[in-house]
């Protein structure tokens, strides 16, 4: 079975599901596996990993652990 046929088979099965709990399980699996972005180094990020990075960034901002645009521009002058 090729990938397109496998996808159609899965879609048909999902459409026939009657229990919300099964859909939630499928959604959790997809959230852990589907690539939603890439790091600056080109490494793939899943939705879960992306959200963890966002949470970490928000914590750094709250704690004052960041550089302003002006600070970055000044630092980049010495590169």
- In the chain, the percentage of residues whose pLDDT exceeds 90 is 86
64 in a structural domain: yes
Residue 61 — φ and ψ, nearest 5°?
-65, -45
> Is residue 6 scored above 90 in pLDDT?
yes
45 in a structural domain: yes
The parent domain of residue 64 ranges over 28-73
40 in a structural domain: yes
- Evaluate whether 31 touches 48 at the Cβ level (below 8 Å): yes
CA distance 22 to 33: 17
Question: Residue 63's pLDDT is what?
Answer: 97
Number of domain units in the chain: 1
22 in a structural domain: no
Least confident of 40-44, 60-64, 75-79: 75-79
What's this model's pTM, rounded to 2 decimal places?
0.59
Question: What are 34-61's pLDDT values in tens digits?
Answer: 999 999 999 999 988 999 999 999 999 9
Q: What is the pLDDT confidence band of residue 79, given thresholds at 50, 70 and 90?
A: confident
79 in a structural domain: no
Residue 38 — φ and ψ, nearest 5°?
-135, 150
9 in a structural domain: no
């Amino acid at each position: 079975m090729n990938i397109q046929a496998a996808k159609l088979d899965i879609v048909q099965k999902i459409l026939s599901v009657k229990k919300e709990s099964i859909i939630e399980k499928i959604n959790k699996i997809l959230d852990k596996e589907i690539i939603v972005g890439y790091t600056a180094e080109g490494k793939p990020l899943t939705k879960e990993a992306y959200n963890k990075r966002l949470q970490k960034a928000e914590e750094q901002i709250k704690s004052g652990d960041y550089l302003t645009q002006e600070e970055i521009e000044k630092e980049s002058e010495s590169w």
